[in-house]
Amino acid sequence: MRKSLAVFVLVLGLFLVFGSHSAMTQAPLSGEALVNERCSQCHDLTRVNRAKATKDRAGWERTVDNKISKRDVLLNEVERTAVLEYLIKN
Ligand code: HEC
Protein backbone atom coordinates (compact mmCIF):
# COMPACT_ATOMS: atom_id res chain seq x y z
CA MET A 1 0.00 0.00 0.00
CA ARG A 2 2.74 2.48 0.96
CA LYS A 3 4.74 1.51 -2.05
CA SER A 4 1.94 2.22 -4.46
CA LEU A 5 1.41 5.60 -2.82
CA ALA A 6 5.11 6.39 -3.34
CA VAL A 7 4.84 5.38 -7.00
CA PHE A 8 1.75 7.53 -7.38
CA VAL A 9 3.49 10.56 -5.88
CA LEU A 10 6.53 9.98 -8.08
CA VAL A 11 4.43 9.75 -11.25
CA LEU A 12 2.49 12.86 -10.25
CA GLY A 13 5.75 14.72 -9.62
CA LEU A 14 7.18 13.75 -12.98
CA PHE A 15 3.96 14.73 -14.66
CA LEU A 16 4.07 18.18 -13.05
CA VAL A 17 7.73 18.73 -13.92
CA PHE A 18 7.46 17.64 -17.53
CA GLY A 19 3.97 19.05 -17.99
CA SER A 20 5.00 22.55 -17.00
CA HIS A 21 8.25 22.23 -18.91
CA SER A 22 6.52 21.58 -22.21
CA ALA A 23 4.07 24.42 -21.53
CA MET A 24 7.04 26.73 -21.04
CA THR A 25 8.86 25.73 -24.19
CA GLN A 26 5.71 26.25 -26.24
CA ALA A 27 4.92 29.68 -24.86
CA PRO A 28 6.71 32.42 -26.79
CA LEU A 29 6.12 32.09 -30.50
CA SER A 30 8.82 33.92 -32.43
CA GLY A 31 7.45 36.03 -35.26
CA GLU A 32 10.99 36.45 -36.54
CA ALA A 33 11.62 32.70 -36.72
CA LEU A 34 8.27 32.17 -38.45
CA VAL A 35 9.01 34.83 -41.06
CA ASN A 36 12.47 33.37 -41.68
CA GLU A 37 11.06 29.89 -42.11
CA ARG A 38 7.69 30.38 -43.82
CA CYS A 39 8.14 33.56 -45.83
CA SER A 40 11.27 32.32 -47.55
CA GLN A 41 9.53 29.37 -49.20
CA CYS A 42 8.72 31.17 -52.47
CA HIS A 43 11.07 34.17 -52.45
CA ASP A 44 13.96 35.31 -50.31
CA LEU A 45 13.55 37.74 -47.45
CA THR A 46 14.95 40.80 -49.24
CA ARG A 47 11.44 41.47 -50.49
CA VAL A 48 10.05 41.24 -46.98
CA ASN A 49 12.74 43.44 -45.47
CA ARG A 50 12.38 46.05 -48.18
CA ALA A 51 8.63 46.26 -47.62
CA LYS A 52 9.07 46.90 -43.89
CA ALA A 53 9.88 50.52 -44.65
CA THR A 54 6.62 51.14 -46.46
CA LYS A 55 3.88 48.91 -45.03
CA ASP A 56 1.75 49.72 -42.03
CA ARG A 57 -0.37 47.23 -40.08
CA ALA A 58 -3.19 47.22 -42.63
CA GLY A 59 -0.70 46.77 -45.45
CA TRP A 60 0.93 43.80 -43.76
CA GLU A 61 -2.43 42.25 -42.93
CA ARG A 62 -3.36 42.42 -46.60
CA THR A 63 -0.03 40.93 -47.67
CA VAL A 64 0.04 38.16 -45.08
CA ASP A 65 -3.60 37.21 -45.68
CA ASN A 66 -2.90 37.13 -49.39
CA LYS A 67 -0.04 34.66 -48.72
CA ILE A 68 -2.27 32.52 -46.54
CA SER A 69 -4.87 32.45 -49.30
CA LYS A 70 -2.22 31.09 -51.66
CA ARG A 71 -1.08 28.44 -49.20
CA ASP A 72 -3.60 27.86 -46.45
CA VAL A 73 -1.28 25.83 -44.20
CA LEU A 74 1.26 28.68 -44.20
CA LEU A 75 0.29 30.17 -40.83
CA ASN A 76 -2.40 29.36 -38.30
CA GLU A 77 -4.23 32.14 -36.45
CA VAL A 78 -1.70 32.36 -33.58
CA GLU A 79 1.26 32.28 -35.97
CA ARG A 80 -0.33 34.94 -38.18
CA THR A 81 -0.59 37.27 -35.19
CA ALA A 82 3.03 36.63 -34.16
CA VAL A 83 4.23 37.30 -37.73
CA LEU A 84 2.22 40.53 -37.96
CA GLU A 85 3.56 41.79 -34.62
CA TYR A 86 7.10 41.13 -35.80
CA LEU A 87 6.64 42.73 -39.24
CA ILE A 88 5.05 45.87 -37.80
CA LYS A 89 7.58 46.39 -35.01
CA ASN A 90 10.80 45.73 -36.91
C1 HEC B 1 3.11 30.66 -51.92
C2 HEC B 1 4.38 31.36 -52.17
C3 HEC B 1 4.67 32.56 -51.26
C4 HEC B 1 4.82 32.54 -49.91
C5 HEC B 1 4.73 31.35 -48.96
C6 HEC B 1 5.11 33.91 -49.51
N7 HEC B 1 5.14 34.72 -50.61
FE8 HEC B 1 5.49 36.73 -50.64
N9 HEC B 1 5.28 36.76 -52.69
C10 HEC B 1 5.03 35.65 -53.48
C11 HEC B 1 5.00 36.05 -54.88
C12 HEC B 1 4.74 35.13 -56.06
C13 HEC B 1 5.27 37.45 -54.89
C14 HEC B 1 5.36 38.38 -56.12
C15 HEC B 1 4.00 38.67 -56.68
C16 HEC B 1 3.15 39.48 -55.76
O17 HEC B 1 3.51 40.62 -55.46
O18 HEC B 1 2.10 38.97 -55.31
C19 HEC B 1 5.45 37.87 -53.50
C20 HEC B 1 5.73 39.16 -53.11
C21 HEC B 1 5.90 39.56 -51.77
C22 HEC B 1 6.13 40.93 -51.36
C23 HEC B 1 6.28 42.18 -52.28
C24 HEC B 1 4.95 42.58 -52.83
C25 HEC B 1 4.07 43.19 -51.77
O26 HEC B 1 2.94 42.68 -51.59
O27 HEC B 1 4.48 44.15 -51.10
C28 HEC B 1 6.20 40.92 -50.00
C29 HEC B 1 6.42 42.10 -49.07
C30 HEC B 1 6.02 39.54 -49.56
N31 HEC B 1 5.84 38.75 -50.68
C32 HEC B 1 6.01 39.14 -48.24
C33 HEC B 1 5.79 37.83 -47.81
C34 HEC B 1 5.66 37.45 -46.43
C35 HEC B 1 5.74 38.39 -45.23
C36 HEC B 1 5.46 36.09 -46.40
C37 HEC B 1 5.21 35.20 -45.18
C38 HEC B 1 3.99 35.49 -44.43
C39 HEC B 1 5.45 35.63 -47.79
N40 HEC B 1 5.66 36.71 -48.60
C41 HEC B 1 5.29 34.33 -48.20
C42 HEC B 1 4.84 34.36 -53.04
C43 HEC B 1 4.87 33.93 -51.72
Question: Distance between CA 69 and CA 80 in Å, rounded?
Answer: 12
Q: What is the CA 7 to chain-centroid distance, rounded? A: 37
What pLDDT does residue 86 have?
97
Q: Whose CA is nearest to atom 36 of ligand 1?
A: 39
- Ligand 1 is surrounded, with C-beta below 6 A, by 38-39, 41-43, 47-48, 51, 63-64, 67, 70-71, 74, 83
Rounded distance from Cα 29 to ligand 1 centre (Å): 21
Q: Atom 12 (ligand 1): residue with closest C-alpha?
A: 42
90, 32 contact by CB (below 8 A)? yes
Q: Distances in Å between the alpha carbon of 76 and those of 9, 28, 64, 87?
A: 38, 15, 11, 16
The tens place of each residue's pLDDT in the chain, 90 residues long, gives 567 666 655 555 555 555 555 445 555 789 999 999 999 999 999 999 999 999 999 999 999 999 999 999 999 999 999 999 999 997
pLDDT given at position 35: 97
Residues in the chain: 90
